[in-house]
Structures are given as C-alpha cells and as structure tokens.
Amino acid sequence: MERPRWLDEREQSAWRGYRRMRRLLDLELARELMRDAGLSEPDYDVLSDLAETPDRRLRLSELADRMLWSRSRLSHHLTRMQQRGLVTREECAADGRGAVVALTAEGRRAVEAAAPGHVAAVRRHLIDLLTPDEIAALDALTHRVVDHLTGPDDARR
Amino acid sequence: MERPRWLDEREQSAWRGYRRMRRLLDLELARELMRDAGLSEPDYDVLSDLAETPDRRLRLSELADRMLWSRSRLSHHLTRMQQRGLVTREECAADGRGAVVALTAEGRRAVEAAAPGHVAAVRRHLIDLLTPDEIAALDALTHRVVDHLTGPDDARR
DNA sequence: GACATCTGGTTGACATGTCATCAATCTGCC
DNA sequence: GGCAGATTGATGACATGTCAACCAGATGTC
C-alpha cells in the first residue's frame, strides 16, 4: 500500500462538516416529521414516491430501485405500513411472481398532510440557509458523486 | 398554515442529489470498510475518536456528545466492541457513577490498519471528485447548517 | 446531615435493517 | 413441450438503534 494521502485541513473540515450536518439534519427532520405527521422518514419517502406516480402504484422492485433499498427491506417495511393502512399490496397481472404496492386513500391523506410541513422544514434547516451559488454547487457536486458511484463497477475498484 | 413554498427545480434537484449521494456514499464506504478492515462505520468512528485523544480514553458522555449518539446507543455499541476486544471500560476516579472507555492495543491496531484505506476511499468517492471551490463551498455550507441546528432551540421552532 | 432532585450509565423490550434462504414463476434454449 | 437457470418477493434469524425504566452516585437545600 502506498503512503496514504491524508486529508488537508480544508478537506478534513469539509468532510467532518458534511458528516455532522448529515446527522443533525436527519435527526431534526425526522423529529419534526414524526411530531407533526406521525411518519418516519422512510414512511414519507415511500408514500411520496408512490404519490408521484401517475397510477399511485408501483411494482415492488421498481420502488426498491428508486429508493436504493433492498427488496427485503422494502418488503418488511411495506408489511408494517400495510398494517397501518397506508398502502396495500396487489397482484401483478403481467407477472405472476410480481406484486404491486398501491397508495390507500388514507396513505394519500397522510402524505398530503405531511408534505407542506416537511418541505418547510427542509427549507428552514437547509435550503433557505444557502446562497443560490451554494445551491448550484451542491446540485452539481452531488450529482457528480452519484454518477461516479453508479458508474461502471471498476470505477469503484 | 400558509400556502407552502415548494422547492423550485434547482432546489429540488440539489435536495434529491444530496439524499442520493448520502445513501450511495454511505453504502459504498461501509462496504469497503467492512471488506478491507472488518469494521462497520460506527466501529470506525468510535475507534478513530478514541485514537485521536491524547490518552486514548474518554468519558462515555463525552464520547456520546462528540458522536451525536444517545448514551444508550453508545453503551450498547461499546459492549459489543468490548466483546470483540477493541475497547475496555474502566471506572472513573473523579466520578463514582462515571465510566471511561479506553482503546485496547488491538483496537489501536485495528484503526491504524483501517485508516489509510478508509481515507483513500473518502478521497476516491468524494474529495477527489470536487474542485477546490466546491470543497470550500461544502465546508462553508455544512458548517452554517450545523451552527443553525445546534443554535438556540427556538431557531428550530 | 438528611432529603429531594439531578446526572451518568445500564438494561430490556421493541422497532428497524441486513443477510441468507425459499418458493413460485418466468425466460431461454433444446 | 420441458428443463436449467434467473428473477421476484416473502420470511426467519440475527445485528443494530430507540425508548422508557431503572440504579447508583452526585448535588443542592434546608
């Protein structure tokens, strides 16, 4: 192994800041979402992804891919949400193995009630604290990193 | 509730990019760290925080605060790490209730073996993909958000 | 000094996420 | 058609994180 190139001071500071922000932002957004809407962040993500599809229903594998979740995790989480009446499972006509998740009326009500407050929280704790330039930089940089990580496997060693 | 100010296109894109990056970066760094060093990210964080203190030991509450973990979580995690021989618990001379975590020789070996590879991964998947300006922007913006979130409670509504 | 209260840490019950495995079904190939 | 192998989703065992209750020792008040 070559001699490691450690992070310089600025890089170190950015990396630590990123991780600290990540943690604090997560905690706060989750806290407010639970307090104001009774939903966890994973709940909200599932519901809002479903609410955005034309049919308000998706194949499990499709949803899992969008959310970057394992199928197992999604399956477990959906059974919990199903028990709370937020979603239902349906058979898939096109593929006998497949299943489809659909938003229930109650699930729809839940996201619609939660969304304004959640967006406001994202603004309050992140977006509105940044300059337009910073938002542009964040946009560019995150997408570059995402592209790198989803590129050909050998790019990841 | 006032009419919500939704995110505009750029803001939306930055927010989604951030969350996607967060997830993918996490998965990849955790995957490599486990594969190359047999440590989880929480393991690594505990060990490297300890390794950086002059005495290689810390009060539990101090460590919990630095890591933004609950005491309960830290306590559970330390008993697991203790069973693997990475850390030990000691009594605290100054406060009869208190406890101190100390790095074992093995724990020290583990971080020192893990660190170069982990730093390299952070470079490869994040730092080295950014321009100096972007690093500076990330540094500034994350710290501003952190300061906001750790400021007076009423700033958070 | 004695009592009430606070604080540091542990614990157990429970929620959530991961991993390996399984059954059903689909696909490609003969 | 029929079989081998791949894919889809469910499931159970286990690892990890959260929450509330608890104990022991510190601190404050009279």
Give residue-wise pLDDT tens across range A76-135: 999 999 999 999 999 998 898 999 999 999 999 999 999 999 999 999 999 999 999 999
pLDDT at B30: 98
* Chain A residues touching B32 at Cβ < 8 A: 157
Stretches in chain B below the pLDDT threshold 70: 1-2, 152-157
User: Which residue in this structure is represented by tokens 């990396």?
Assistant: A15
**Nucleotides in chain D with any atom closer than 7 Å to protein CB:** 7-12, 16-21, 24-27
pLDDT at A145: 98
Domain A27-150, what architecture? Orthogonal Bundle (1.10)
* Chain B residues touching A7 at Cβ < 8 A: 119, 122-123, 127
Task: Give the distance, in angstroms, between residue A63 CA and nucleotide C2 C1'.
Answer: 63
Give dist(CA B122, CA B48) in Å, integer. Answer: 15
Give dist(CA A26, CA A11) in Å, integer. Answer: 22
At A56, is the pLDDT very low, low, confident or very high (cuts 50, 70, 90)? very high
Which nucleotide is the nearest neighbour of A73, by CA and C1'? C17
Is the CB of A35 less than 7 A from some atom of nucleic acid strand D?
no
pLDDT at A49: 97
Verify whether the Cβ–Cβ distance B142 to A20 is below 8 Å: yes
pLDDT at A151: 79
At A156, is the pLDDT very low, low, confident or very high (cuts 50, 70, 90)? low
3 state SS for A10-72:
HHHHHHHHHHHHHHHHHHHHHHHHHHHHCCCHHHHHHHHHHHHCCCCEEEHHHHHHHHCCCHH
Q: Name the H helices within B5-127.
A: 9-37, 41-52, 60-67, 71-83, 105-125
The strand D neighbours among B residues 27-66, by Cβ under 7 Å, are: 40, 42
At A4, is the pLDDT very low, low, confident or very high (cuts 50, 70, 90)? confident
β pairing state of A99-103 and B57-59? unpaired
Give dist(CA B133, CA A75) in Å, integer. Answer: 42
Task: Give the distance, in angstroms, between residue A110 CA and nucleotide D8 C1'.
Answer: 29
pLDDT at A136 over 90: yes
Give dist(CA A44, CA B80) in Å, integer. Answer: 32
Residue of B1, B118, B141, B144 for testing the chain A interface, max A β-carbons within 10 Å: B141
CATH code of B19-125, in short, is 1.10.10.10
* Chain A residues touching B126 at Cβ < 8 A: 15, 145
Is the CB of B83 less than 7 A from some atom of nucleic acid strand C?
no
Stronger pLDDT, A5 or A3, i.e. the higher one: A5
| Nearest Cβ partner for A146 among B20, B122, B149 | B20
Where in chain B are the domains? Answer: 19-125
Average pLDDT, chain A: 94
pLDDT at B151: 79
pLDDT at B153: 60
pLDDT at B37: 97
pLDDT at A157 over 80: no
pLDDT at A57: 95
Residue of B52, B74, B127, B154 for testing the chain A interface, max A β-carbons within 10 Å: B127
* Chain B residues touching A125 at Cβ < 8 A: 145, 148-149, 156
At A2, is the pLDDT very low, low, confident or very high (cuts 50, 70, 90)? low
Mean pLDDT throughout A2-12? 89
Longest CA–CA separation in chain B, Å? 59
Stronger pLDDT, B154 or A28, i.e. the higher one: A28
Provide φ and ψ at A67, rounded to 5°.
-85, -5
Is the CB of B117 less than 7 A from some atom of nucleic acid strand C?
no
For the segment B114-146, what is each residue's pLDDT rounded down to a tens digit? 999 999 999 999 999 999 999 999 999 999 999
Closest chain A residue to B112 measured between Cα atoms? A4
How far A91 CA lies from chain B's nearest CA (Å)? 30
